[in-house]
């Protein structure tokens, strides 16, 4: 028999990995049944056989042989159920009234316009199902790491293709500031969210999310993956610094040591992936004072006063530890506050130097933004600035060497 050949249509969909074979065959059958309903008013007397391997579909029409007079008098929709004896015997001379005849349906019987409409409907339904399948697949993978290839680079985002050729987006806002990728580069990121826009799934990735760092720990540290070590909280300033609070319920396991690895072997891989982001791994504790002390690492804390009602903490340190506690750009103290949930105020634990002068006293000689920059690294008095060398001040702040020299000369003049 001549089957309805759909090789072109099938070839378009045979590579689809997101739709299973049974679903694909069901869609094709439904589309053709809708065409039969439109032509005959019923699809009850038709058998449809889909052959995806051969790229064709067979439609068989089952009708009862009736008297010619009844066949002529029947309504249009009855044509789908009956065939006159004369017409039936032209197909098979041995047929008699009351018997059933099965004949193939040819594509030409429907007309060119109907065939084009069916093909278009088929394409539309399969693409719609594929989009829905991609949406569901990635909705279930939110928070998981995906590996893909950079396919297109735009000003505000990257277009990534996964192993199945699905399109993923990595916005500039979700990239680490020092990230730099070329077309064809392999990239790792976590699935941040999945949206539907104009019936198309929009899959957004992130490399700045805390979930990305958590998944990297699971990949690099078997104890975290197995649940022997729990990550309690992660806070990040992407590309600059991160603090990770970890805990183990097994006294035999040192959670910090396990995460860092021998000579930093485990943490190094994560640091490289995050463009040399500094990662502080901290042993979690429910003791707020101790947790704040650990969170301000590498600074050494003298004492901590807690105000639980207002969620504030006063931290006292030796003068040489203040800049360490605050960190470059204030990242260390900011992250420690986010990690512990306390607003942290830093104070120098030293006798008041009557000869020292607060930097604010120099507001008429030194511009306010320069004073703010010095304060951001823990230098809030004249002597605290003079205690540091020119090179150290340039390194810790964003000030030029000439500016630092000028500031130092103004401050020194005060004591001379």
Helix axes 288-295, 331-340, angle to 10 degrees: 150
pLDDT of the residue at 339: 96
pLDDT of the residue at 322: 85
Residue pair 244/269 in contact by the 8 Å Cβ criterion: no
Handedness of CA 110, 113, 116, 121 (dihedral sign): negative
pLDDT of the residue at 353: 46
pLDDT of the residue at 185: 96
Straight-line distance from the first to the last Cα atom of the chain, in angstroms, rounded to the nearest whole number? 110
pLDDT of the residue at 2: 40
Give, in order, the Cα–Cα distances in Å from 35 to each of 79, 110, 111.
Answer: 15, 9, 11
pLDDT digits (tens, 9 = 90+) for 234-281: 999 999 999 999 999 888 999 999 999 998 999 999 999 999 999 999
Instruction: Just give the CATH number of 141-206.
Output: 2.40.50.140
Residue 119: helix, strand or coil by DSSP? helix
Question: Residue 300 phi/psi, 5° resolution?
Answer: -100, 120
The whole-angstrom separation of Cα 99 and Cα 84 is 11
Number of H helices, E strands in the chain: 16, 16
Q: What is the DSSP letter of 156?
A: S
Residue pair 209/223 in contact by the 8 Å Cβ criterion: no
pLDDT of the residue at 235: 97
Give the DSSP H or E segment for 372.
Answer: helix 368-376
The whole-angstrom separation of Cα 354 and Cα 259 is 47
Share of the chain above pLDDT 70, in %: 89
Question: Residue 303 phi/psi, 5° resolution?
Answer: -160, 160
Q: What angle do CA 359, 363, 367 make, to 5 degrees?
A: 105
Q: Who's near 99: CB < 8 A, 6+ residues apart?
A: 64, 65
Residue 400: helix, strand or coil by DSSP? coil
The residue ranges of every structural domain in the chain are 4-136, 141-206, 359-415
Q: What string of DSSP letters covers 240-308?
A: TEEEEEEEES-TT--HHHHHH-GGGHHHHHHHHHTTS-EEEEEE--S-HHHHHHHHTTTSPEEEEEEET
pLDDT of the residue at 76: 47
pLDDT of the residue at 315: 93
Q: Who's near 377: CB < 8 A, 6+ residues apart?
A: 323, 326, 328, 396, 397
The whole-angstrom separation of Cα 344 and Cα 340 is 9
Instruction: Write down the H helix ranges in 80-221.
Output: 85-91, 112-139, 210-220
Q: Which two tokens mark 95?
A: 């047929």
Residue 64: helix, strand or coil by DSSP? strand
Q: Which residues of the chain fall short of a pLDDT of 70?
A: 1-21, 52-56, 71-80, 108, 111, 350-355, 416
Domain boundaries 4-136, CATH class: alpha beta
């Amino acid at each position: 028999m001549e089957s309805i050949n759909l090789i072109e249509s099938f070839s378009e969909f045979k590579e689809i990995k997101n739709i299973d074979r049974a679903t694909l065959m069901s869609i094709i059958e439904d589309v053709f049944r809708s065409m039969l309903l439109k032509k005959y008013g019923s699809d009850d007397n038709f058998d449809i056989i889909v052959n995806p391997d051969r790229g064709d579909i067979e439609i068989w029409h089952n009708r009862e042989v009736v008297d010619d007079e009844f066949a002529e008098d029947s309504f249009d929709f009855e044509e789908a159920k009956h065939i006159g004896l004369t017409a039936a015997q032209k197909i098979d001379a041995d047929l008699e009234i009351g018997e059933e005849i099965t004949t193939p349906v040819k594509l030409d019987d429907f007309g060119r316009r109907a065939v084009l409409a069916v093909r278009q409907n088929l394409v539309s339904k399969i693409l719609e199902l594929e989009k829905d399948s991609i949406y569901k697949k990635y909705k279930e993978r939110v928070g998981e790491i995906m590996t893909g290839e950079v396919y297109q680079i735009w000003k505000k985002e990257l277009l990534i293709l996964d192993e199945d050729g699905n399109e993923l987006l990595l916005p500039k806002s979700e990239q680490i500031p020092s990230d730099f990728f070329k077309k064809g580069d392999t990239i790792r990121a976590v699935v941040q969210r999945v949206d539907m826009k104009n019936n198309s799934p929009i899959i957004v990735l992130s490399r700045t999310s805390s979930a990305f760092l958590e998944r990297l720990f699971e990949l690099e540290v078997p104890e975290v993956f197995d649940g022997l070590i729990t990550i309690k909280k992660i806070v990040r300033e992407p590309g600059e610094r991160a603090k990770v609070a970890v805990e183990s319920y097994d006294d035999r396991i040192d959670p910090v040591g396990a995460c860092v690895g021998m000579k930093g072997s485990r943490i190094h891989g994560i640091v490289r992936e995050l463009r040399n982001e500094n990662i502080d791994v901290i042993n979690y504790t429910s003791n707020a004072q101790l947790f704040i002390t650990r969170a301000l690492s590498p600074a050494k804390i003298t004492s901590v006063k807690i105000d639980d009602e207002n969620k504030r903490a006063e931290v006292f340190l030796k003068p040489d530890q203040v800049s360490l506690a605050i960190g470059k750009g204030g990242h260390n103290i900011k992250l420690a506050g986010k990690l512990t949930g306390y607003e942290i105020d830093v104070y120098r634990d030293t006798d008041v130097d009557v000869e020292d002068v607060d930097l604010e006293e120099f507001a008429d000689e030194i511009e306010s933004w320069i004073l703010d920059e010095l304060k951001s690294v823990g230098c809030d008095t004249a002597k605290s600035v003079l205690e540091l060398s020119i090179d150290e001040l340039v390194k810790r702040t964003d000030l030029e060497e000439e500016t630092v020299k000028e500031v130092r000369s103004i401050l020194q003049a005060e004591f001379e």
